[in-house]
């Protein structure tokens, strides 16, 4: 059985190679809010991102990670994540990331046998809200909550590394239609 690393509320498989299996969806409404069990604010900056790999540093409260992720379309990709001192992460963000940062609040919402991660983006990506689910296999079947919308796992625009280069506020209005279908700032 694969060993698991629990980082930032997520489980990563580490044997024989780190693999993230994640599906990403838009939301139909804010019906998920009443089920949130906790929320974390993230700031992440990209040290490098190209057609094959992204390397980022992420800070959440007093914790921080260095993450190396393969850039491939679909739901499965190589991913390696390592805890680092928060002071180092803040320094890396300041020295190396400048305009290549994004901020979001991640809400954790249990449903069925999984905990969904709902990301509400800030800054130039404000208005974009997506739901992610981590799976043990590509074929895994999971319960779909009523608030779940269209799947966007194969759309690179929704990759965090792509939101640095093409933030949500630069998308043509037609592309935004159906994405932020509700005001995510209302309680």
Query: In this structure, are residues 88 and 96 in contact, taking their beta carbons and an 8 Å threshold?
Result: no
Note if 46 is an active site residue.
yes
Q: How far apart are CA 118 and CA 106, in angstroms?
A: 5
Task: Look up residue 98 and give its two tokens.
Answer: 């400048």
Query: In this structure, are residues 7 and 60 in contact, taking their beta carbons and an 8 Å threshold?
Result: no
Cross-strand partners of 151: 25
Out of 51-65, 86-100, 131-145, 168-182, least confident range: 168-182
SS (H, E, C) 64-91: EEEEEEECCCCCEEEEEEEECCHHHHHH
- Return the CATH number of the domain spanning residue range 4-176: 2.40.320.10
Cross-strand partners of 68: 55, 80
Domain boundaries of the chain, sorted by first residue: 4-176
Catalytic residue among 46, 82, 158, 182: 46
Confidence of residue 3 (pLDDT cuts 50, 70, 90): very low
pLDDT digits (tens, 9 = 90+) for 54-101: 899 999 999 999 999 886 666 777 889 999 999 999 999 999 998 899
Q: Would you state the pLDDT for residue 8?
A: 46
Supply the pTM of this predicted model.
0.83
């Amino acid at each position: 059985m694969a060993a698991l690393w629990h980082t930032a509320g997520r489980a990563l498989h580490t044997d024989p190679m780190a693999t993230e299996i994640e599906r990403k969806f838009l939301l139909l409404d804010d019906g998920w809010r009443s089920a949130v069990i906790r929320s974390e604010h993230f700031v992440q900056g990209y040290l490098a991102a190209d057609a094959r790999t992204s390397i980022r540093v992420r800070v959440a409260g007093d914790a921080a990670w260095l993450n190396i992720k393969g850039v491939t379309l679909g739901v499965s990709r190589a991913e390696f994540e390592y805890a680092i001192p928060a002071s180092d992460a803040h320094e890396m963000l300041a020295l190396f990331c400048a305009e290549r940062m994004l901020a979001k609040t991640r809400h954790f919402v249990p449903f069925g046998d999984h905990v969904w991660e709902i990301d509400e983006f800030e800054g130039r990506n404000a208005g974009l809200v997506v739901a992610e689910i981590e799976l043990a296999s590509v074929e895994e079947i999971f319960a779909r909550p009523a608030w779940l919308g269209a799947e966007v796992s194969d759309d690179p625009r929704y990759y965090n590394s792509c939101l640095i280069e093409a933030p949500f506020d630069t998308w043509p209005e037609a592309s935004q239609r159906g994405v932020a279908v509700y005001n995510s700032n209302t309680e």
